[in-house]
Amino acid sequence: MSAKKTFAGIEREVPQNTRSTVVRLFSQLRSQRVRLTVVAVSIVFYVALSIWNPMYSAIVIDHLWNSVQAAWQAGTPFSVTGTMGRELIQLTIQYLFTWLFYYLQSYLMASVAESLVLSLRTQIAQKLHRLPLRFFDQNKAGEILSRVTSDLDKISEVLQTGLLKLIVAIGTIIGSLIVMFCYSVPLTCLFLVFMAASMVITNIVARKNLRCAAERQETIGVLTGVVEEYYNGRDIIKAYNHEAESIQKVSQAAEANRVASQKADFLTNCVNPLIRLLTRMSQVIIAVVAGRAMLNGTMTVGVVQAFFQYVNQSAEPLTEASYMINSLQAALASAERTFELLDEAEERPDPVHPATVERAEGRIAFEHVSFGYEPGRPLMRDISFTAQPGKKIAVVGSTGAGKTTLINLLMRFYEVDGGKITLDGVSTAEMTRAGLRKNFGMVLQDTWLFEGTVAENIAYGRPDATREEIVAAARAAKVDYFIRTMPQGYDTVLDNESGNLSAGQRQLLTIARVFLCDPPILILDEATSSVDTRTEAEIGKAMKALMHGRTSFVIAHRLSTIRDADTILFMEHGSIIEQGDHKTLLARKGAYAALYYSQFE
């Protein structure tokens, strides 16, 4: 089985610590004790009836056979009244109660499984809100989402079917074999020989099928990744005339998936006919031997038909035992991966008695701040600067210099390793994250709009805003005219990818969102990078008005846009190597001056 790296280590189908996983999984079911108790009682009665019914049917069939023979010999009409009638009614009632207990356990177990999945999904949803940004930066979204979807679905499916089947099968097989040995030791041994051969074949096929299923899942992942990549990059593919190559790669991935799926499906479907053939052969031989026993008088007609009932209800569970065990192992592996997610290190909890800054003046200070994404590998060392209220701070530098990291620390998406950051003299570590972040408004280079109307997207930071306030914010962001040209105006529904909007239009909407929030501190990360020059100039005027009286942090690559900044922080390899205003830094003829002049050569 191929291995795939995940945040939990290796994608696996077998749990690493079965006992602790089982204990923890069932500890999640404490609130379902009453239902589980009813399920357990239903299983006991169902198994007991499943074993008793054939035995009682043997008695009924023998009485029926003897009555038919007696009536035939006496030349009188056959009747099922009296004792025979009561026995048939009792047998019918037993079968009805057998069905009732089967239905009850299946219904309640489905309820238990879905309640467990709901509880785990709720815990995961709450956990994801408590996980640090570091976790999401280090792991792919698809791998995280699979814990919430496929793994939990597998747990639910196995609890509803596999576990229930296994428990019932164990009880039924043990009870059936005991009765079968009481009826006939040779016939039972003959049956077990055929079943042993079936189990060996099933086990071999199950192991190969597990490897093929893992291979199929891997090829599905590759195919999905290729299709997603080419779909998102369709414009580039067409621009460079790579349609043929992309089709070929998709075809290769699809062919690999077809081959893997064909193997897995063949192994899944071929074993049942083979096992059923062996079962039928065993039944034929058992029928011949049992017929001879009836002729010898050592077995009755009722006992023989009861024996065949036990054969039928024991054969299939025995041959499916490997599949049941493998499915349970896969479910426990899924549960183990789910618990590993729930055990991930969380964000530092908010203070019990937090400091509050209702509406900040905007004085921000970094005091000897140090930080590293990995222990022992610091990125920032002894970072210190102060942003005065109402001032514009520009953060510039090459890609990977640490500009975004600086903002992440300011917003407490990451925690500093040393030093402190203060807002109006209050350490941000002493504030709640929500209390800190309500003072900030962000416009990022990578815009994101949610599924909903245009008005709802603009009002994302202020859901209680009136339509007039939303329109005013849109006008300030120079996006009102564009919105009114849309089919339903402000009530036009956008999808989560906003494929019907250009990159510049999406960015304008996120700028309108910040206008509406009216925060005391602004963070602008290449906020106008996706708009044309004329629109950028118009937004620049509006943004200048918005930034008036507010502390603003601006990350920019085009240095011409930040020449009016009160302070420019030039970063390199996580350190601030120069700071000052535009004229001062040009006069120094250092790194900033070299970068500035290089953009106008």
What is the pLDDT, as a whole number, of residue 178?
92
Is residue 48 assigned to a domain?
Answer: yes
State the DSSP code for 531: S
pLDDT single digits (tens) 446-494: 777 888 888 998 998 888 899 999 999 888 888 888 889 888 889 988 8
What is the pLDDT, as a whole number, of residue 7?
45
- Residues 241, 177, single domain; the answer is no
**Rounded to whole angstroms, how far apart are CA atoms 378 and 133?**
17
What is the pLDDT, as a whole number, of residue 496?
61
Structure tokens at 62: 């023998």
- Sign of torsion over alpha carbons 467, 472, 477, 481: positive
pLDDT single digits (tens) 28-77: 888 888 888 898 899 999 999 989 988 888 888 888 877 777 777 766 66
Q: Phi, psi (5° rounding) for residue 521?
A: -130, 135
- Residues 231, 374, single domain; the answer is no
- Residues 422, 548, single domain; the answer is yes
Residues 520, 439 contacting (CB under 8 angstroms): yes
Number of independent structural domains in the chain = 3
Is residue 462 assigned to a domain?
Answer: yes
Q: Which residue has the tokens 């077990």?
A: 192
Question: For residue 536, how many other CB atoms are within 10 A of its CB?
Answer: 18
* CATH value at residue 147: 1.20.1560.10
* CATH value at residue 515: 3.40.50.300
Range 374-396 average pLDDT: 87
Is residue 272 assigned to a domain?
Answer: yes
**Rounded to whole angstroms, how far apart are CA atoms 540 and 555?**
14
Least confident of 188-192, 253-257, 541-545: 541-545
Is residue 402 assigned to a domain?
Answer: yes
pLDDT single digits (tens) 406-454: 888 998 888 888 999 999 889 998 998 888 888 988 887 777 788 888 8
- Residues 151, 231, single domain; the answer is no
Residues 53, 87 contacting (CB under 8 angstroms): no
The residues facing 374 across adjacent strands are 377
The yes-or-no verdict on residue 597 having pLDDT over 80 is yes
Alpha-carbon separation of residue 463 from 441, 470, 490 (angstroms): 15, 10, 14
- Note down the domain range covering 339: 16-183+335-346
- Residues 141, 205, single domain; the answer is no
Range 146-168 average pLDDT: 78
pLDDT band at 1 (very low <50, low <70, confident <90, very high): very low
**Rounded to whole angstroms, how far apart are CA atoms 480 and 389?**
31
The yes-or-no verdict on residue 4 having pLDDT over 60 is no
- Residues 126, 246, single domain; the answer is no
For the chain, the C-alpha Rg in angstroms (whole number) is 36
Mean residue pLDDT across the chain: 82
CA 210 centroid distance within chain: 21
Question: For residue 282, how many other CB atoms are within 10 A of its CB?
Answer: 21
Question: Residues near 234 by Cβ (< 8 Å), separated by ≥ 6?
Answer: none
- Residues 508, 534, single domain; the answer is yes
Environment class of 298 (CB within 10 Å of its CB; exposed 0-12, middle 13-18, buried 19+)? exposed
Structure tokens at 278: 């062996």
Q: Which residue has the tokens 């299923």?
A: 213
Structure tokens at 58: 């043997």
- Residues 407, 369, single domain; the answer is yes
Comparing C-alpha atoms, which of 139, 156, 163 is closest to residue 11? 139
Is residue 387 assigned to a domain?
Answer: yes
- Residues 43, 139, single domain; the answer is yes
Longest pairwise C-alpha distance within the chain: 128
pLDDT band at 527 (very low <50, low <70, confident <90, very high): low
- Residues 551, 462, single domain; the answer is yes
Is residue 44 assigned to a domain?
Answer: yes
- Residues 582, 457, single domain; the answer is yes
Q: Is 376 left (phi over 0), alpha (psi -120 to 50) or beta?
A: left
Comparing C-alpha atoms, which of 366, 368, 364 is closest to residue 424? 364
Length of the chain: 601
What is the pLDDT, as a whole number, of residue 3?
36
CA terminus-to-terminus distance, the chain: 57
- Residues 383, 441, single domain; the answer is yes
What is the pLDDT, as a whole number, of residue 100?
94
Name the 3-class secondary structure at 448: coil
Is residue 318 assigned to a domain?
Answer: no
The yes-or-no verdict on residue 334 having pLDDT over 50 is yes
Is residue 535 assigned to a domain?
Answer: yes
Query: Domain end: 288, 312, 346, which one?
Result: 346
Residues 350, 87 contacting (CB under 8 angstroms): no
Type of residue numbered 419: G
Pairwise pLDDT comparison (559 vs 183), residue with the higher score: 183
Least confident of 95-109, 227-241, 283-297: 227-241
The yes-or-no verdict on residue 12 having pLDDT over 60 is no
- Adjacency order of strands within the sheet including 426-427: 380-387, 364-371, 418-423, 426-427
